[in-house]
């Protein structure tokens, strides 16, 4: 089974040096969504997304980017604290 690396591109970037073995690209996509959800659930929202999107980049064992998950804060003007 292939190993995928789930990098958090935020402030600061947090590269994944160990990776996770999953069945295939579809399973890696599901894992990326779960990873992003866990971070968003427990992080201070004012720190996670300020002006830049929150990103999870997934690379394969060769370092090729296979998934780029971006979450943008589209709060209405004046609602951001």
Helix spans in 1-81 (H): 25-42, 45-48
Average pLDDT over residues 63-77: 82
The confidence band for 51, taking pLDDT boundaries of 50, 70 and 90, is low
Is the previous residue joined to 63 through a cis bond, with omega within 30 degrees of 0?
Answer: no
Tell whether the model's pLDDT for residue 75 goes beyond 70: no
> Could you tell me which residues come within 8 angstroms of residue 60 by beta carbon, excluding any fewer than 6 positions away?
2, 3, 4, 5, 66
Q: For position 76, what pLDDT does the model report?
A: 47
In angstroms, how far is CA 34 from the centroid of its own chain?
Answer: 9
Full-model pTM: 0.80
């Amino acid at each position: 089974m292939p190993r995928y690396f789930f990098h958090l591109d935020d402030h600061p970037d947090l590269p994944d040096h160990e990776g996770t073995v999953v069945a295939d690209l579809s399973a890696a996509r599901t894992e990326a969504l779960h990873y992003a959800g866990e971070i968003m659930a427990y992080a201070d929202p004012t720190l996670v997304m300020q002006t830049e999107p929150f990103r999870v980049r997934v690379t394969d064992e060769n370092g090729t980017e296979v998934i780029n998950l971006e979450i943008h804060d589209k709060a209405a003007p004046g609602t951001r604290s």
